[in-house]
Amino acid sequence: MNLMKLTKLMKLTKLKIKKGDKVKIIRGNYRGKDGVVEKVLPKDGKVVIAGVNIVKKHVKPRGQQNPGGIVEIAKPINISNVIVICPKCQSSTRIGYQVNEKEKHRICKKCGGIIK
C-alpha cells in the first residue's frame, strides 16, 4: 500500500471530534478562538468551524438565480489544531471513551462528564 493511502486510513480511525462540538483553536492565526464544528472531513483530517478561517472567494455569475460577486466562506482547519471544550466544566480537554452495557459515550478526561 502507498504511504499516503496508509496515513489517510490512519486519520479516518482517530477522529474524536464530531459535528456540533464546541472547540478551541490551539495553533495558527486564530489561536484562542472558540467555535462550533460545522463539518468534519475525515478523509483529509480537517474540520470546518463556524466564524473561523473565513476567506473571500470571487464567484462568477451563473444565471439570474446566482448573481455572483465576492462571497465569504469558511475554510477547513487541520484537526490537530483544535481541542474540544467540555460542556460541563467549560475547559479544553481530551476525549476518552466509556462503555456502559450497550452504549459507548465520549467523556471528558478532566471532569468525567459525558460529551454529546
In three-state form (DSSP H/G/I as H, E/B as E, the rest C), the secondary structure along 81-93 is: HEEEECCCCCCEE
Residues 80 and 33 in one domain: yes
Residues 26 and 76 in one domain: yes
Residues 76 and 27 in one domain: yes
Query: What gap in Å lies between CA 115 and CA 89, rounded to an integer?
Result: 11
In a domain, 3, yes or no: no
3 in Cβ contact with 9 (< 8 Å): no
Residues 78 and 116 in one domain: no
Residue 7's pLDDT is 63
In a domain, 27, yes or no: yes
In a domain, 113, yes or no: yes
Residue 15's pLDDT is 80
In a domain, 4, yes or no: no
Residues 79 and 90 in one domain: no
Q: Can you give the pLDDT of all 116 residues of the chain as single tens digits?
A: 567 666 655 545 568 899 999 999 999 999 999 999 999 998 889 999 999 999 999 999 999 998 999 999 999 999 999 999 999 999 999 999 999 888 999 999 988 888 88
Residues 92 and 80 in one domain: no
Residues 93 and 66 in one domain: no
Residues 58 and 27 in one domain: yes
Residues 33 and 74 in one domain: yes
Look at the chain and report how many structural domains it folds into.
2
- Put simply, whether the predicted model's pTM sits higher than 0.85 gets the answer no
DSSP string of 29-93, one letter each residue: TTTT-EEEEEEEETTTTEEEETTSSEEEEEE--BTTTB--EEEEEEPPEEGGGEEEEPTTT-SEE
Domain hosting residue 90, numbered range: 86-116
